[in-house]
Amino acid sequence: MDLELIEEQNRLTCTQVTEKYNHAANIANEALRRAFILSKPGVSVNSICSSVNTWILEQVKGLKYRESGIAFPCCVTLNNMIQHFCPSKDEDVTLQVNDCLKIELGVHIDGYIATTATTLIINASPSEPVTGKAADATCAAFYASEAALKLIKPGNTSKMIAETLKGIVANFGCSFVSGSMISEQKRFVLDGRKVIALNEESEEEQEEFTIESGDVYSINILVASGESNATHADCKVHVMQRNVHQKYSLKLNTSRQIYKEIDSKFSVFPFAVASLEDVNKARLGLSECLQHNVIIPLPVLNVKRKETVAQFKNTVLVTDSETVNITRKDNIQIPYVHSIYGVEEKFLSIFNQ
């Protein structure tokens, strides 16, 4: 594709581009609200994710744009798990009082993406604040997310932003976990060239860059109380994604059928295995796809059982005059928590910008 055309398709000065971003965000915001309302004790995670994914697809049905739909499947990830939990019925779990949930999803309109996430704690006594590690992680994640929204603006550097957010989180006795990052988004691209990886494990040599007008970013803040060391959870992989850079002639007919279904339904975006037509058959076909790297697994990771992970995620459009959070959560209640820690005085001025 012509580079000039690609640039045009990602230019925020184009009214059609910003309209599509906002359309995607409006659907994502309402989908998140619906998932939030459904998340009550006794309700299964599979039923929430399935209901919300179905609702999103209904909203984009009949649109004039060639490709629109789910940019990231609805996930309801519990307690010490980090991301990507959307089980099929054979691995389903039921929500319980005191669970800390990370609800995450994404929508795209013609490839223009809005991803969002929030934290919900099922409080046994809603009139009383949640305290302890869940409160610490939630406060740290929330304030880091709010600070990021202020700091993502033209002229600020990736290094300055990362150092500031790490300082805020550390003051709560918490740490960023695997997957916590600020990543550039473009049309049909969830993770672009510009990335600020926030967890310590990702601190290979990162190329420093400056935020520019016209950029679009996903701010994915994932914070654990205590240490950030992550291991694979004891469950199957629930979310996968087609590897557009890898080609292989699949041998098994089942594998070819599954790959065709994935390509047709989900394009380049992550998908829930539970959303495939026949999950049991899909698992067989996916084995060959995974073996030859044409499908990439996005595993469920977790930290130590005694710890809690909280998440807030937003999509922002950077312009000359302002940074617009298109995934505002005005209609979703922030968890009622109380931490013994707070934001260090040297960071307070950020929130008044």
Residue 2 pLDDT: 60
Residue 5 has pLDDT above 70, yes or no: no
- Cβ atoms of 186 and 195 within 8 Å: the answer is no
Residue 202 pLDDT: 56
Q: Side chain identity at 120, as an amino acid letter?
A: L
Residue 226 pLDDT: 87
Enumerate domains of the chain plus CATH numbers: 3-226+311-352 (3.90.230.10), 239-299 (1.10.10.10)
% pLDDT > 70, the chain: 96
CA atoms within 13 A on the CB side of 281: 13
The residues, any chain, with a CB within 8 Å of residue 50's CB and separated by 6 or more, are: 274, 275
pLDDT per position as a tens digit, 263-319: 999 999 999 999 999 998 999 999 999 999 999 999 999 999 999 999 999 999 999
Residue 325 has pLDDT above 60, yes or no: yes
**Rounded Cα distance, 177 and 222, in Å:** 6
- pTM attached to this predicted model: 0.95
pLDDT per position as a tens digit, 257-276: 999 999 999 999 999 999 99
Nearest to 49 by CA among 31, 66, 65: 31
pLDDT per position as a tens digit, 195-206: 999 987 655 668
Residue 6 pLDDT: 65
